[in-house]
Structure 1
Amino acid sequence: MKYLGIESSDLVKLGGIHTAREICQQPELWRRAWEDVNQQEPALLKFMDEALANTRRIILAGAGTSAFIGLSLRGVFQRATGLPTDSVATTDIVSHPKDYLHPDIPTLLISFARSGNSPESVASIALADEICKTCYHLIITCNPDGKLAHYSSKSRHYIFNLPPEANDQSLAMTSSYSTMLLVGLLIAKVRQLKSLAPDVDTLIQYGRKLIELYAGDFREIAQKNFNRAVFLGSGPFFGTATESHLKLQEFTDGKVICKNDSYLGFRHGPKAVVDESTLVVYLLTNNTYALHYEKDLIEAMKKGRPPLLEIGISESAIKDLTLQHAFQLSENGKKIEEELLTVCYILPAQLLGFYKSIALGLMPDAPSATGAITRVVEGVNIYSLT
């Protein structure tokens, strides 16, 4: 059997069988996650109604890759609930809890975690219980056996366990990230769940297209001699750009140094990083208003040092935009909700990272040659507030 165009037996030798399988399984996992959310809809509605009626803010939290989910979901949660919503990494909450948690501000803390065993994940929930007089917890995790899934909180809480396959075995999170992101998005819109069915079907089609039709293109791009990469995304795609930069950097063990930014933010200094060894990836919105700013930045890239290669990821073809590689997902002009695109827009970085890891002689399942990074962070001591 082949995954990403490579025989399973060869993937085992290359140390990439888990990663390849976990990238490929994502569209099917999205379908199962959609079904699970639908099955739990009554219980989720009951919990969310109570939580939103008794809280005044929402915090979206996670460590590392799991933290970036909140960057993509902050806007949709704030619009859907009418509550101020912040994306705050658990690593920030743990070191400076009183900067984010207040006794007199009732809070809904939504936690994302693959293993649920990262020290900061459990500590941030405990700190919220300790500091906030009123706190609700929604825990979204890929590991039903993890500490988060079994956390005994004095506060009202709801635990959503993803299908077991989402608990990636590879060091770098792939299907765990995208599936938790989708679940979070669906819960934000749980009152409109049924109306999202056609868009979820289209999302799954887009994911399959990226994997089945475009994987070979990303394999060729990974062979090119770039040692820097920039991922640009605005609004909900800023989270995707942030995760994309980490993914390629993790898979290449830091041999490709990566950066992320928004389109407007990139003009204010960070654009200086671009040189002849830089790959630039544009994550393009289907929001007509925001697209004006994205196209302007791409035009401005003609001034200064040219990058090695520019890639565009978009739902549909964009008028008056010419790039060396343009990957379009829609074949009939169909348009799905902007936030849903963040779920599949992470696939290009995963594919680039996987193929670049192999090209550099690394093992995608465990690319850190020195063990500097591990699947579950180790060595973090948690201290008492008092």
Structure 2
Amino acid sequence: MKYLGIEASDLVKSGGIHTAREICQQPELWKKTFEEIKHQEVAIAQFMDEALGNTKRIILAGAGTSAFIGLSLRGVFQRHSGIATDCIATTDIVSHPKDYLTPEIPTLLVSFARSGNSPESVAAIALADEICHTCYHLIITCNAEGKLAHYSSKSRHYIINLPPESNDQSLAMTSSYSTMLLVGLLIAKRKDLKTLESSVETVIKYGRKLIELYAGDFREIAKKDFRRAVFLGSGPFFGTATESHLKLQEFTDGKVICKNDSYLGFRHGPKAVVDETTLVVYLLTNNAYAYHYERDLILAMKKGTPPLLEIGISESEIKDITLQHAFQLSENGKSVEEEFLAVCYIIPAQLLGFFKSLASGLMPDAPSATGAITRVVEGVNIYSLT
């Protein structure tokens, strides 16, 4: 059997079998997860209606990659709930809880976690219970056996355990990230769940296209001698760009130094990072208004040192910009709301990271040669607030 065009036996030898399988399983995992959320639709709606009826603030939280999910979801949660929504990493909440949690503000804390065993994950929930007079918890985790899934909170809470295969065995999160992101979208838009099936099916189709049709292209791109990489995305794609930068950097054990930014933000100094060894990846919106700003930045890249390579990821054809590589997902123009594209837009960085890891002589499943980073963070002590 092959994954990403490579025999499974060869992937086992090179230390990449888990990563390759977990990247490839995403479209089917999204389909399976959507069915599970539909099965829990009534229970989720009851909990969310109560929580949102009694809170004035939503916090989307997680550690590392799990924190970046909130960056893509903040807007859709705020628009659909009408409640002020913040994305705050549990790592920030734990070190400075009173900067982020207010006793008098009833809060819904939405926690995302792959293993649910990161020390900050449970600590953030405990701190919210301790500080906030009223607090609700929605816990979304890939590990039904993890500490987070079994946390006994004094506050009202609802736990969503995703299918066990979403609990990636590779060091770097791939299917766990995209699947938790999809679940967050479905919950934010839960009142439209019955009409979202076509959007989910479209995203599944796009994911398959990236994996089955374009994986070879990303394998060739990974052979290029880029030593820096910049991922640009705005709105829901800012979270995708943030996660993309971490994925490529993790998979290459820091050999490729990565950065992310928004299109407008990149103009204000960060553009100086671009040199002749830089790969630039543009995550492009299907929002006509926002696209004006993206197009202007891409055209402005002609000034200054040109990057080694520019790549565009888009739903429909890019008609007015010339790039070395343009990956188009739809043959029929815009099909889904832009936040749904964030679910599949992470796959290019996963593929780049995987293939660059192999090209660098590393093991994608465990790319950290020195053990500096681990699958579940180690060595974090949690201290009492009092």
Which bin holds the TM-score, normalised by the shorter protein? over 0.9
SS in structure 1 at match of 2:192: helix
Alignment of 1:144-183 (within 5 A): 144-183=144-183
Residue 275 of structure 2 corresponds to residue 308 of structure 1? no
Instruction: Report the count of equivalent residues.
Output: 386
SS in structure 2 at match of 1:366: coil
- What is aligned with 1:111? 111
Q: 1:313-341 CA deviation, whole Å, 9 max, x = no partner? A: 00001221110000000012242011000
Which structure 1 residue ranges, 5 or more long, are not aligned? Answer: none
Looking at structure 1, the residues matched to 235 and 320 of structure 2 have their Cα atoms a distance apart, in angstroms, of 22
Alignment of 1:374-385 (within 5 A): 374-385=374-385
Looking at structure 1, the residues matched to 334 and 268 of structure 2 have their Cα atoms a distance apart, in angstroms, of 34
Residue 86 of structure 2 corresponds to residue 93 of structure 1? no
- What is aligned with 1:262? 262
- What is aligned with 1:288? 288
Residue 234 of structure 2 corresponds to residue 244 of structure 1? no
Looking at structure 1, the residues matched to 271 and 214 of structure 2 have their Cα atoms a distance apart, in angstroms, of 28
Looking at structure 1, the residues matched to 223 and 50 of structure 2 have their Cα atoms a distance apart, in angstroms, of 52
Q: 1:180-232 CA deviation, whole Å, 9 max, x = no partner? A: 00000000000000111111110000000000000000000000000000000
The letter for the 1-side match of 2:264 is L
Looking at structure 2, the residues matched to 333 and 294 of structure 1 have their Cα atoms a distance apart, in angstroms, of 18
- What is aligned with 1:317? 317
The letter for the 2-side match of 1:54 is N
- What is aligned with 1:347? 347
SS in structure 1 at match of 2:108: strand
Residue 1 of structure 2 corresponds to residue 31 of structure 1? no
- What is aligned with 2:230? 230
Q: 1:1-60 CA deviation, whole Å, 9 max, x = no partner? A: 000000000000000000000000000000011001100000000000000000000000
When normalised by structure 1's length, the TM-score is 1.00
Structure 1: which 4+ aligned runs deviate by more than 4 Å? none
Residue 111 of structure 2 corresponds to residue 133 of structure 1? no
- What is aligned with 1:338? 338
Alignment of 1:13-24 (within 5 A): 13-24=13-24
Looking at structure 2, the residues matched to 142 and 197 of structure 1 have their Cα atoms a distance apart, in angstroms, of 22
The letter for the 2-side match of 1:89 is A
Looking at structure 2, the residues matched to 111 and 333 of structure 1 have their Cα atoms a distance apart, in angstroms, of 34
- What is aligned with 1:45? 45
Contact preservation (8 Å) 2:286, 2:334: no
Looking at structure 1, the residues matched to 343 and 324 of structure 2 have their Cα atoms a distance apart, in angstroms, of 24
Q: 1:112-140 CA deviation, whole Å, 9 max, x = no partner? A: 00000000000000000000000000000
SS in structure 1 at match of 2:332: coil
- What is aligned with 1:253? 253
The letter for the 2-side match of 1:36 is E
1:90 CA displacement: 0.1
Looking at structure 2, the residues matched to 333 and 239 of structure 1 have their Cα atoms a distance apart, in angstroms, of 23
The RMSD of aligned alpha carbons is 0.4
SS in structure 2 at match of 1:59: strand
Looking at structure 2, the residues matched to 340 and 300 of structure 1 have their Cα atoms a distance apart, in angstroms, of 28
Q: 1:53-78 CA deviation, whole Å, 9 max, x = no partner? A: 00000000000000000000000000
- What is aligned with 1:196? 196
How high is the sequence identity, in percent, across the aligned residues? 84
- What is aligned with 1:216? 216
Looking at structure 2, the residues matched to 37 and 288 of structure 1 have their Cα atoms a distance apart, in angstroms, of 31
- What is aligned with 1:187? 187
- What is aligned with 1:66? 66
1:179 CA displacement: 0.1
1:108 CA displacement: 0.1
Looking at structure 2, the residues matched to 320 and 79 of structure 1 have their Cα atoms a distance apart, in angstroms, of 31
Contact preservation (8 Å) 2:23, 2:175: yes
Looking at structure 1, the residues matched to 152 and 199 of structure 2 have their Cα atoms a distance apart, in angstroms, of 36
When normalised by structure 2's length, the TM-score is 1.00
Looking at structure 1, the residues matched to 119 and 255 of structure 2 have their Cα atoms a distance apart, in angstroms, of 28
The letter for the 1-side match of 2:3 is Y
Looking at structure 1, the residues matched to 37 and 291 of structure 2 have their Cα atoms a distance apart, in angstroms, of 32
Contact preservation (8 Å) 2:15, 2:366: yes
- What is aligned with 1:329? 329
Looking at structure 2, the residues matched to 26 and 304 of structure 1 have their Cα atoms a distance apart, in angstroms, of 39
SS in structure 1 at match of 2:196: helix
The letter for the 1-side match of 2:253 is D
Looking at structure 1, the residues matched to 201 and 172 of structure 2 have their Cα atoms a distance apart, in angstroms, of 26
The letter for the 1-side match of 2:250 is E
